[in-house]
Amino acid sequence: MLAEWDREPHVIACSSDDPYAAVAFGGIEWREELAAQDDTSFYCIAEVDGRPIGVMQICDPHLEPTHYWGEIEPGLRAIDIWIGPPDALRRGYGAQMMTQALDACFADAAVHGVIIDPLASNTDAHRFYQRLGFEPEGRRMFDEDDCLVHRLTRERWEARRDELVIPDAALRRSGTAAAESSAGPAPEPGQTQSVGARGRMSPGSPLPGRPGVPVSRGGRSGSSLRFDRDDKDSAEA
């Protein structure tokens, strides 16, 4: 499934500026990638009514083993998100999923910020993230990718969180994974399909629920972040 999504033009476009790229993320081998998950870096699959529609990687950039972010302070989380099926684009799923994932990240009192690295050319992604409260920090090269790094502080998220227009009905299930450039706005009235998630979460993972909410839950009270292992199915094309 993930390998299939990697061949979608919109996924390729959010992962590379190469106009000749035929696959996203350099043709990543998903079975190996998923097998290498640990508590510092893991993937989640987002679902709507049981149908997988997107992916999110969440990591601790200070501790994850690839050191993708280089030397960076502790107390951060980094998120990478994308929608797979084209018909799931621009339906408001991104705002739902990012909202609940950010709630879960900041549930850890040690986390003071979340960082992202959309391509500098992906202005749709910049607008989407900035609506959530992220602020641009500057351009940075990651290998051959020219990115515009953004950061969201805990204080800014707490101030911005309640301003977001996302129907409560859309938050009653679970969420994790969204698209950078195609997540779109919060759902219009009547568009209240909610987003579920399946992926990996181990005891002691850096994404517990909010204080006072069981570990299997995240976001607002009543919303559930279910991170169950489903690596094999997720990797199948």
Residues 6+ apart with CB under 8 A from 81: 54, 55, 56, 57, 94, 97, 98, 177, 178, 179, 180, 183
pLDDT exceeding 90 applies to what percent of the chain? 39
Domain architecture of the chain: domains with CATH: 2-235 (3.40.630.30)
Query: How confident is residue 58, by pLDDT bands cut at 50, 70 and 90?
Result: very high
CA distance 219 to 209: 7
Any idea what the Cα angle at residue 133 is, between residues 150 and 112, rounded to 5°?
Answer: 70
Instruction: Supply the pLDDT for residue 116.
Output: 97
CA distance 65 to 59: 10
Measured in whole angstroms, how far is the alpha carbon of residue 176 from the centre of its chain? 6
Upper half-sphere CA count for residue 76 (Cβ side, 13 Å): 18
Instruction: Supply the pLDDT for residue 195.
Output: 62
Residue 93 scores a pLDDT above 90:
no
Residue 206 scores a pLDDT above 50:
no
Query: How confident is residue 198, by pLDDT bands cut at 50, 70 and 90?
Result: low
Instruction: Supply the pLDDT for residue 8.
Output: 78
Question: Which value, to the nearest 10 degrees, does the dihedral of the CA atoms of residues 172, 175, 178, 182 take?
Answer: -10
- Beta bridge pairs of residue 46: 54, 197
Is pLDDT larger for residue 216 or for residue 2?
A: 2
**Residues 92-117: what's their mean pLDDT?**
92
Residue 108 scores a pLDDT above 80:
yes
Residues 6+ apart with CB under 8 A from 71: none
Instruction: Supply the pLDDT for residue 22.
Output: 87
Q: DSSP secondary-structure letter at 138?
A: E
